[in-house]
């Protein structure tokens, strides 16, 4: 049974009441109880990360990418914002919440979805999440077999780094392009979605 996390607590108090092992049900309960919009994730090793709510520039980048994907004709049911994914690891599962995901087919209702039909995960880098988004998730998502992982930097060009799964099961960086350039290209130039 999920634990309740609906009481405002200091970091010290949370530490005293934190379970030794955080399940995905626990994570979902923490997300639901948070009234401030923080994002909660766990690595495949079980490390909890909590990041503050995104700012308006983050939201604008996500909206621009989502509009580009929709304008290209991708089915709405196959594009999701902040959808929870189960990331398999050697000793259990982690729970990650990418900013945008693209799926090969619509997914059944769930809080934490399998990565089996996931073709693209996109993270917009926020202050404080650089190491997780640019290092940890690169290895986790490659090991999970997600065909593509894109990161969007918060530099002046909003540089998009496109990682594609290589034949050895590791990601290869195939492009680094400004977001405005990417949005002027065809989605099909970068992504194949379908059964």
Residues 38-57: tens digit of each pLDDT: 788 778 777 788 878 888 99
Q: What is the pLDDT of residue 153?
A: 95
Total domains, the chain: 1
Q: What is the pLDDT of residue 21?
A: 72
In a domain, 21, yes or no: no
Residue at token pair 């982690």? 94
Domain CATH number, residue 130:
3.90.1570.10
Point out the residues of the chain with pLDDT beneath 50: 1-2, 4-7, 9-13, 195
Of the candidates 119, 112, 118, which has an alpha carbon nearest to the alpha carbon of residue 94? 112
pTM of the model: 0.84
Task: Let me know: does 102 contact 96? Beta carbons within 8 Å.
Answer: no
In a domain, 9, yes or no: no
Task: Let me know: does 84 contact 28? Beta carbons within 8 Å.
Answer: yes
In a domain, 159, yes or no: yes
State the virtual CA torsion across 133, 168, 143, 63 in degrees, nearest 10: 40
In a domain, 27, yes or no: no
Q: What is the pLDDT of residue 142?
A: 94
Alpha helices in 89-132 (DSSP H): 130-131
In a domain, 165, yes or no: yes
Partnered with residue 102 across adjacent β-strands are 79, 120
Domain that holds residue 135: 54-189
Burial annotation 70-109 (CB, 10 A radius, 16+ → b, else e): eeeebeeebbbeebbbbbebeeebbbbbbbbbbbbeebee
In a domain, 23, yes or no: no
Task: Let me know: does 174 contact 162? Beta carbons within 8 Å.
Answer: yes
In a domain, 42, yes or no: no
Q: What is the pLDDT of residue 58?
A: 92
Residue at token pair 């948070």? 34
In a domain, 18, yes or no: no
């Amino acid at each position: 049974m999920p634990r309740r996390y609906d009481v405002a607590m200091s970091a010290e108090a949370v530490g005293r009441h934190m379970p030794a092992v955080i399940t995905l049900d626990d994570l979902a309960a923490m997300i639901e109880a948070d009234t401030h919009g923080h994002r909660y994730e766990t690595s495949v090793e079980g490390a909890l990360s909590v990041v503050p709510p995104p700012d308006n520039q983050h939201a604008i980048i996500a909206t621009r990418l989502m509009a580009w994907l929709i304008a290209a004709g991708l089915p709405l049911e196959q594009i999701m914002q902040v959808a929870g994914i189960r990331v398999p690891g050697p000793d259990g599962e982690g729970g990650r919440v990418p900013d945008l995901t693209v799926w090969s087919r619509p997914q059944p209702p769930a809080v934490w979805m399998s990565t089996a039909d996931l073709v693209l995960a996109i993270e917009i880098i926020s202050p404080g999440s650089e190491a997780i988004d640019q290092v940890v998730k690169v290895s986790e998502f490659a090991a999970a077999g997600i065909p593509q992982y894109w990161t969007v930097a918060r530099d002046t060009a909003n540089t998009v780094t496109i990682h594609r799964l290589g034949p050895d099961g590791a990601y290869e960086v195939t492009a680094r392009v400004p977001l405005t350039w990417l949005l002027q290209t065809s989605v099909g130039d970068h992504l194949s979605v379908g059964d």
